[in-house]
Amino acid sequence: MKRIAIIGCGGAGKTVLANRLAALLDLPVINLDAIYYDENWREKTTDEFAAIQRKMVTADRWIIDGNHASTLHIRAKRADTVIFLDLPVRTCLWGVLQRRWRYRGGQYPHGVYDRITLSFIRYVIGYRKTMRPRVATIVREHGQHTQCVTLTSRTQTKRFLQRLGAH
CA dist., res. 26 & res. 61, Å (int): 9
pLDDT for 105? 61
Q: Where does 3-166 sit in CATH, by number?
A: 3.40.50.300
Chunk the chain into consecutive blocks of 10 residues (it has 167) and report each block's average pLDDT, rounded to whole numbers.
Answer: 96 94 96 83 90 97 94 97 97 87 61 72 94 94 93 97 85
- In residues, how long is the chain? 167
pLDDT for 111? 54
pLDDT for 162? 95
pLDDT for 112? 58
* Max CA distance (Å), the chain: 42
Which is it for the CA torsion 149, 152, 155, 157, positive or negative?
positive
**Going along 25-93, which residue ranges are E strands?**
29-31, 62-65, 81-85
Bridge partners, residue 147, by sequence: 81
Domain ranges within the chain, ordered by starting residue = 3-166
Q: With residue 151 as reference, give the H or E element that holds it.
A: strand 147-151
Under the phi-then-psi rule, with left for phi > 0, alpha for psi from -120 to 50, and beta for the rest, what region is 111? left
Q: Look up the pTM and report it.
A: 0.90
pLDDT for 60? 97
In whole angstroms, how far apart are CA 114 and each of 6, 12, 20, 97, 118?
Answer: 19, 14, 20, 11, 13
Residues 149 and 84: beta-carbon distance below 8 Å: yes
Convert the pLDDT of each residue in 18-51 to its tens digit. Answer: 999 999 999 999 999 888 887 777 889 999 999 9
Residues 63 and 18: beta-carbon distance below 8 Å: yes
pLDDT for 103? 63
